Structure 1
Amino acid sequence: MKLQRLPITMSRGFHSHAHLPRGPQGISEAKLGCEEFLVKLLDRRWTLVSPDTKIQQIMLPPERIKDEDGPLKDKSWFNMPNPLLGDQITDNSGPDSSFYVVRDDLLHPLVNGNKARKLDAVLPLLEDHSVTDVVTCGGCQSAHAAAVAVSCAERGLRSHLLLRGEQPDILTGYNLISTMYGNVKYVPRSVYANREETLKTHASSVAGVIRLVHYLSQSHLLGKEKAMKFVVDAGTGTTAVGLGLGAIYFGLPWKITAVMLADTLDNYRERERRLISDFKRHFRFDLDHALREIDRGVVNWVERYHPRKFGNVIKGEIEVCQEIARQTGILVDPVYTLAAWELASLLSEKEARGDAEVVMLHTGGTLGMFGLAQRPDKNQGKYRPDQHIK
């Protein structure tokens, strides 16, 4: 067994074997030109064969029913599965508002899209260092733990998952997948709370998201010229920071807005600052020329329409997810991706006659719907969403 915790500054083993020598190659301390840096960043082995993802357009009718219960009350949507892109993206000059959905939820049947992007550059790096076993941790319904278990098994690596709390009576959702693909050990909450910060978000997990930005910015897709307002739900915030870094580095007129779900604004900003610092140090490259406004951050962090303690589901949200699925064929979950859908819908109304297109990055979360079945019922003082699915 070979277990290895990779230092953040390690830069060997990144590059594509098809284009570069097999021997160790560090990145020069000297400042690299933009094109050279792009090669250093993207020319490597990846977990995903291609960065491709599907883009769909959601149309909203001009009539708006304002309701204090939420932004999606009595709304309707229509999915255009093959919209015009590139130079054919139409200006928002008509009466209908719309937003685009980047369907990263379709990347893998069991791995969330944001997890697949984060692992895109990481797993080949582990293989290059002959790692045989990977240890990680998370909650009982951790999408991260499930993604690591599935992705490691697909590449012949063994995963060891330390899950917080007790084993559920019924295994379902991400917990079931983690158990099927990985070696699970349940850790008492008191012990887990005092653990060393095992999972640190580092620069290599941002690289996969920047690869996505590079793909989406191609002229036949979203292009590099038109203003875009990207919306993403934020757990750790890594995906949002990766989008922001990519947009600024490539000089794209894209604004990234992340809906805060699991932490405070100060903590998200601190994690953003640390990720950017780690990214610069990881690749030993001074990005200040590209990130001139770095002190103001690369992400606009906003509260959810109805703020709540992380993981809580408000009555009526399951029904909204149900209507979205029935009308568009797109499944969102009430904990994560519904928050991004809400904001994208609101922004699309504001931009109906504006200059920017609204784009939601769908990060996945399908298996999270199954995990909701483990919630206590409302007779115990908590809302049980599965009782309201018809």
Structure 2
Amino acid sequence: MNQGLSFYIVRDDLLHPFVNGNKARKLDGLLPLIEDHGVTDVVTCGGCQSAHAAAVAVSCAERGLKSHLLLRGEQPQILTGYNLISTIYGNITYVPRTFYAHREEMLQTHASMVAGHTGSVVYCSDIIDSSLASQTFECSKFVQRDAPRGTENHSRKVAIVNEGAKDAVALLGMFRLVDYLSQDHLLGKKRAFNFVVDSGTGTTAVGLGLAAMYLGLPWKITAVMLADTMDTYRQQERRLIAEFKRQFRFLLDSHKLNGANDGIVHWVDRCHPRKFGNVLEGEIEACQQVAQETGIPLDPVYTLAAWEMATRITCAHEDDSNVVILHTGGTLGMFGLAQRYKSYFGMLNTAIKS
């Protein structure tokens, strides 16, 4: 880091050894609902090195649920990183890319196969709508509660979780995080902060923005776009906000979110644009430098982008806000990158030896 340059960092990557920060937050509100409704199996999908798939596998195993993970492409010659964790904790099926392109049909077909003739299949939206009808959510502090597992007749009940868990229920975990961080002995409710977060689906950023608006916090959310265009991210933002208002209106004072439709996230391009998933020369070394100087692990696809943006904002002194990075995790993804970008990691090994 530059001399005298500083910003805050929320180490959400330390929540769990395998379930990275934003993945744990997205599942925070969803898994208790799944348990409440007697679900026995969970089906989801992702890339070969999907942090989401690994998070679902580990979290389900810890709760006594079975996970079924549909991973895009072919099985790697050597299992590493999130792929290895997913294989250990869940049931893996590798899906050809042509079939994976039709995700909804793929998930439905596999879930029906898991359920069998005597079981049933439900979508997360069905579970949430059912909860709305009976209002079984905890209505204060978003506190988890223990619930009975399984069903009386022991038939399988299979829940489908969308790729990346990019549904409105995922926002509840961000509400819990913001509520925690805004305590007086942490960030408080009066100081201005600019939260910088890397954005794959954009769900985490929208959750931060909604929670900050609801709690009346002077926080700005700067989201570094990684996987799509600004129009797509803004469309995703509008969809999540509308869905959240509809599904959780009885939990919240809706007037506190009146300004949400005008946009709550400041979407920005990453400092070095490229096709999602690609790594540029020098980025592996940049992650190495940050790790050696600060002890903080980054990955070049996700969290390095947030680090670079936070550095740029801090250097520019654009306003009086304190800059905060939400470290979303992703470090295990380095193992998968080492398989794809052998030359970059070979250069790193040479630098270490010298």
> Which TM bucket (shorter chain)?
0.7 to 0.9
2:213 is the alignment partner of 1:248: yes
Q: Secondary structure at the match of 2:312?
A: helix
- 1:257 alignment partner in structure 2: 222
Asked whether the 8 Å contact 2:26–2:170 carries over to 1, the reply is yes
The amino acid that maps onto 1:350 is A
What's the counterpart of residue 386 of structure 1? 345
| Displacement after TM superposition at 1:152 (Å) | 0.4
Deviation of 1:293 after TM superposition, in Å, equals 2.8
Structure 1 SS opposite 2:257? coil
2:294 alignment counterpart: 328
Partners of 1:236 and 1:202 in 2: how far apart? Answer: 10
Compute the RMSD of aligned alpha carbons: 1.6
| Cα shift at 1:117 | 0.5
> Residue 296 of structure 1: which of 250, 259, 262 is its match?
262
Who is 1:74 aligned against?
none
TM-score by length of 2: 0.79
1:281 corresponds to 2:246? yes
Report SS of the residue matched to 2:93.
strand
Name 1:362's counterpart in structure 2. 327
Residue 167 in structure 1 maps to residue 133 in structure 2: no
1:308 aligns with 2:216: no
Spell out the pairing of 1:263-274 with structure 2 (5 A cutoff).
263-274=228-239
Shift of 1:195: 2.7
Structure 1 runs not aligned, ≥5 long: 1-58, 62-95, 378-383
SS in 1 for 2:44: strand
Distance in 1 (alpha carbons) for counterparts of 2:95 and 2:258: 44
Q: Which residue in the other structure is 1:25 paired with?
A: none
**Structure 1: which amino acid aligns with 2:244?**
F
1:347 matched to 2:306? The reply is no
Offset at residue 277 of structure 1 (A): 0.6
Amino acid at match of 1:274: R
Query: Cα offset for 1:284?
Result: 2.7
Alpha-carbon distance in structure 2 between the residues aligned to 1:185 and 1:153: 17
Alignment match, 2:184: 219
1:120 maps to 28
Q: Deviations over 1:224-265 (max 9, x none)?
A: 111100000000001000000011111110000000001111
Separation in 1 of the partners of 2:30 and 2:194?
A: 28
Q: Which amino acid aligns with 1:388?
A: M
| 1:306 partner letter | H
3-state SS of paired residue (2:227): coil
Aligned ranges 1:58-207 → 2 under 5 Å: 60-61=2-3, 96-196=4-104, 199=162, 201-207=166-172
**Given residue 255 of structure 1, which amino acid in structure 2 is its aligned partner?**
K
Query: Is the 8 Å Cα contact of residues 49 and 81 (structure 2) preserved in structure 1?
Result: yes
- Structure 2's unaligned 5+ residue stretches are 108-161
Secondary structure of the structure 2 residue equivalent to 1:196: helix
Cα distance in 1 for partners of 2:83, 2:235 equals: 30
In the TM superposition, residue 330 of structure 1 has moved relative to its aligned partner by 0.3
Q: Percent identity over the alignment?
A: 69
Contact 1:134/1:159, CA 8 A, preserved across alignment? yes
Q: Secondary structure at the match of 1:311?
A: coil
Superposed CA offset, 1:358-389 (max 9, x none): 00000001100111122055xxxxxx421221
SS at the partner of 1:289? helix
Q: Contact 1:280/1:287 (CA < 8 Å) preserved in 2? A: no
Residue-by-residue CA offset, 1:141-160 (whole Å, 9 max, x unaligned) = 10000000001001111000
Counterparts of 1:257 and 1:231, CA distance in 2: 5
C-alpha separation between the residues in 2 aligned to 1:259 and 1:369?
20
User: CA contact under 8 A between 1:122 and 1:204: conserved in structure 2?
Assistant: yes
Give the structure with the larger helix fraction.
2
**Alpha-carbon deviation of 1:223?**
0.7
What is the one-letter code of the residue matched to 1:250? L
Measured against aligned partners, the alpha-carbon deviations of 1:106-162 in whole angstroms (never above 9, x if no partner) come to 000011100001111111111111111000001111000000000100111100000
Q: Distance in 1 between matches of 2:298 and 2:65?
A: 31
Give, in whole Å, the separation in 1 of the partners of 2:293 and 2:257: 41
CA distance in 2, matches of 1:229, 1:132: 41
Runs of 4+ aligned residues of structure 1 deviating over 2 Å after TM superposition are: 284-289, 291-296
State the AA in 1 paired with 2:239.
R
Q: Distance in 2 between matches of 1:194 and 1:295?
A: 30
Q: 2: CA distance between counterparts of 1:370 and 1:311?
A: 14
- 1:235 pairs with one of 184, 200, 213: 200
The 5 A counterparts of 1:50-61 are 60-61=2-3
Kept in 2: contact 1:351–1:357 (CA 8 A)? no
Give the 3-state SS of the residue equivalent to 1:315 in structure 2.
coil
Does the 8 Å contact 1:318/1:388 carry over to 2?
A: no
Q: Which amino acid aligns with 1:367?
A: L
